[in-house]
Structure 1
Amino acid sequence: MEGTIRDHAAGRGVGPVLGKFDGVSRIAVLRGGGLGDLMFALPAVSALKAAYPGSTVTVLGTPLHASLVQGTAGPVDDVRILPYAEGVRPGQEDPAAVDTFFADMRREAFDLALQLHGGGRHSNPFLLRLGARHTVGTQTPDATPLERNLPYAYYQHEPLRALEVAGLAGAPPVGLEASLEPLARFAAAADGLLDQAANARAGTAGRKAGPVVVIHPGATDPRRRWPAGHFAELAAACAADGCQVLVTGDHSERQLAADIVAGAESAGAGAGLVRSIAGEADLGTLAALLVRADVMVANDSGPRHLAQALGTPTVGIYWAGNLINAGPLGRSLHRVHLSWVTHCPECGADVTQVGWTAPRCAHDSSLVAGVRPENVYSDVRLLMATSPHLRGRPAFP
């Protein structure tokens, strides 16, 4: 194995960078999942586009991914929505729809296809059905091999894993983390949300609008969620310190956001100083809002990764295992508060044993409840003190 890699190596990246394939102009990247999952793949997409100038990269993803690509400026050229299929996109599988998808994709005549969706038990056979000339991706011991394979280990930083796969396709890194820009057409909607928050503060005892703190209390896995009461305590402290506080979320998180607003008011925040915008902002508007925020506070979640990609300072609440896979690499703009819990609070199951070989226990109790609000707020204040956004709202490209 060592001799084979060195004989074909073209340089070094996160791992070996092998020789490029010839004649690559159409590239497919398989990455299902949530918002953060696509963000983890973006550095690899940038590397591929640099290694194969003039190529187009199509992400095989989800409607949420399509919304992000349409709502921001980034390296992905287009998104094709995956059909429901086991291990690739959860849902009721329709064999006819799957067959139609692959017929359409084979007509695209992809030169290169990358599998960045798990260990490959289901996603490698799925990728092979595209009919691409070359295939590269991750592989667990029980997965069908591709042309070039990266051994899959659950605990690896996801963007770096994707970059390691890109290296096997001949693409060295051009950046280690995702980078996105907001689009001008969403600026007015973002300004409207900010102006409503500013007016609420201005109408309270004649106060002026202060720094903008965005709070996102949701996460796909309930165990990654900081308790609503902790977010409420933090929001109240931010409001008392002169901040405009906006609580974000999708339609399903409206009640959670409302509970945090109510809790903040009970803790002393004046009416309207902490405001929910859950369900009010599409991804383009959220990006335009986040790029103008001074700090975002969130669980390990897609919106936190989006804020980071936009250059907005963040304070993240993480379970230690998730930090390995999904944490920010730097600490000048991005602070993290860790929970070192290793066993389920309800049944005592070892929660560090996760991934493709170890099904999780049935309990959803928070693994990050022990993170203290006062410690989180300390980092919020430090980041606000150095926020470049306080010198004026940034321009849109």
Structure 2
Amino acid sequence: MNAPLLIVQPTFAHARVPDTPQLAHWGEDIKRILCVRLDNLGDVLMTTPALHALRESAPGRHITLLASRSGVALAPFLDDVDDVIEYEAPWVANPLASSRSLADDRRMQERLRRGGFDAAVIFTVYSQSPLPAAMLCYLAGVPRRLAHCRENPYALLTDWLREPEPQQRTRHEVERQLDLVRQVGAQAPDTRMRFAVQQSDRETLHAQLTARGIDDKSHGKAQGNALEKAQWIVLHPGATAASRRYPPERFGQVATRLARETGAPLLISGSASERSLADAVIDAAAPAVRGQLHDLSGALTLGELAALIERASVLVSNNSGPVHLASALGTPVVDLYALTNPQHTPWQTPNRVLFRDVECRWCYRSVCPQHHHACLLGVAPGEVVNAALELRAQVQSRTAAAASSSSGTSGSSENQSNAHHSDAAPPLADEPVAP
């Protein structure tokens, strides 16, 4: 006879695991730390406050980042990272999967063994398992291994936190990783995301913009402790997942109104493979304003893109890497936020997060499973324009205040606030949803 079905659904999606064991404080004997973050550029950026906390919590610490190719590209701009190792892990989606072999993983295991690491921290989003990376570190002989884990890891992790997300609560990705390292005594008062723009990239960007006839009169001018913002607006119409792309035709409408109302140059960023998106945005813009639109897709290095966003009066972007660059650089951002997942909103920078609530929120899909894309299509171009103009006006107001103040500190408290908690931010999984 079959057992009756449960009438009350279980609270937890998985079998209960034992309470998290008592975590040990990592003291001054923990010098060489391997930080594993194998997904995308934006994920690595959102981990930088935790990397900083690890480095600052004991003298003489050496941080090595194990990351994918896109994550490794950040290493020259991360002051808290001493060394970097590129690894396209077989348990992470990547376009090179067909060309890899088991020998690659054996070589990586041996390389990590030779690294002489005292500990490893495995950073994941809550939909990822840390156990494959934990196994790699275990086989490489790394003695201390820390991660969030949904199931009992037994010997694979020496220090771990039971995974509470998403059933019990959901945190911003930055908060999640700060909570993880805090459990082993790593914390720092400065929780900003980090990206150190190089002066050489500022200079090469200036040369590129000048060659294109784009006004860059404020190049090199200081506003307090930061560079003076330029007039230009940056548009980023691309995103890796189709489900996170606002239509280029609507970006064209946004560009038309912003060009008319500000008279500013609008610079379209993207990779070389996204050039067709930039073309579609320009084609959708009114012919009279196309002279203000400049396609920079494929023309900038990562450092030059950061230099561009650093001085933009505002960034208008799908929720992708440039949004997280803006957070790290303190640039105001209009984030067109598809409701695929809740925890990647802007961090500590002025922002407007635009979306329409839908029943299928938090789908975690690369393509809209309902085929309506309503969470983004419900955002009218006029809303995007108004949000950008509001943020731009705030920047101009602070610039004017700084110019009249000998200290140049006016408005700094807003830049350092947790702006992702604004009333425009999408709710996390345990918060009420506004229409």
Q: TM-score, normalised by structure 2?
A: 0.75
Letter in 1 for 2:209: L
- Aligned mates of 1:285, 1:318 — CA distance in 2: 25
1:271-282 paired onto structure 2 within 5 Å: 271-282=290-301
1:95 aligns to 2:102 (yes or no): yes
Q: Please name the residue that 1:251 is paired with.
A: 272
- Aligned mates of 1:146, 1:89 — CA distance in 2: 25
Q: Please name the residue that 2:224 is paired with.
A: none
| Pairwise CA RMSD | 3.0
Q: Please name the residue that 1:297 is paired with.
A: 316
Q: Please name the residue that 1:148 is paired with.
A: 159
TM-superposed deviation, 1:371 = 1.0
Letter in 2 for 1:54: G
Q: Please name the residue that 1:314 is paired with.
A: 333
Corresponding residue to 1:122 among 126, 132, 145: 132
Q: What SS does structure 2 have at the residue aligned with 1:336?
A: strand
Higher strand residue share? 1
Letter in 2 for 1:335: R
1:288 aligns to 2:299 (yes or no): no
Percent identity between the aligned chains? 26
The 1:169/1:217 distance shift into structure 2, 3 A limit, reads: same
Letter in 1 for 2:346: P
Q: Please name the residue that 1:135 is paired with.
A: 145
Corresponding residue to 1:24 among 30, 36, 40: 30
Q: Please name the residue that 1:164 is paired with.
A: 179
Q: Please name the residue that 2:354 is paired with.
A: 337
Letter in 2 for 1:69: A
Corresponding residue to 1:369 among 353, 363, 377: 377
- Aligned mates of 1:51, 1:201 — CA distance in 2: 41
Maintained 8 Å contact 1:246/1:275: yes
1:19-58 paired onto structure 2 within 5 Å: 19-58=25-64
Indicate the larger mover: 140-149 or 313-322. 140-149
Maintained 8 Å contact 1:140/1:151: yes
The 1:111/1:200 distance shift into structure 2, 3 A limit, reads: closer
Maintained 8 Å contact 2:34/2:120: yes
1:382 aligns to 2:390 (yes or no): yes
- Aligned mates of 1:361, 1:308 — CA distance in 2: 26
TM-superposed deviation, 1:121 = 4.1
- Aligned mates of 1:385, 1:2 — CA distance in 2: 50
Maintained 8 Å contact 1:49/1:55: yes
- Aligned mates of 2:194, 2:215 — CA distance in 1: 32
TM-superposed deviation, 1:386 = 2.3
TM-superposed deviation, 1:231 = 0.9
Maintained 8 Å contact 1:120/1:139: yes
Structure 1: runs of 5+ lacking an equivalent: 9-17, 203-209, 344-350
Q: Please name the residue that 2:189 is paired with.
A: 174
- Aligned mates of 2:244, 2:367 — CA distance in 1: 14
Q: Count the aligned residue pairs.
A: 362
Q: Please name the residue that 1:231 is paired with.
A: 251
- Aligned mates of 1:238, 1:160 — CA distance in 2: 34
Letter in 2 for 1:163: L
Q: What SS does structure 1 have at the residue aligned with 2:359?
A: coil
TM-superposed deviation, 1:352 = 3.1
Q: What SS does structure 1 have at the residue aligned with 2:74?
A: helix
Q: Please name the residue that 1:81 is paired with.
A: 86
The 1:363/1:106 distance shift into structure 2, 3 A limit, reads: farther
TM-superposed deviation, 1:186 = 0.8
The 1:3/1:79 distance shift into structure 2, 3 A limit, reads: closer
Maintained 8 Å contact 2:38/2:92: no
- C-alpha deviations, 1:1-48, integer Å up to 9, x for none? 88965xx6xxxxxxxxx5224511111111012110111111110000
Structure 2: runs of 5+ lacking an equivalent: 1-17, 218-229, 403-407, 409-435
The 1:363/1:104 distance shift into structure 2, 3 A limit, reads: farther
- C-alpha deviations, 1:123-149, integer Å up to 9, x for none? 332332332121100112275651111
Q: What SS does structure 2 have at the residue aligned with 1:383?
A: helix
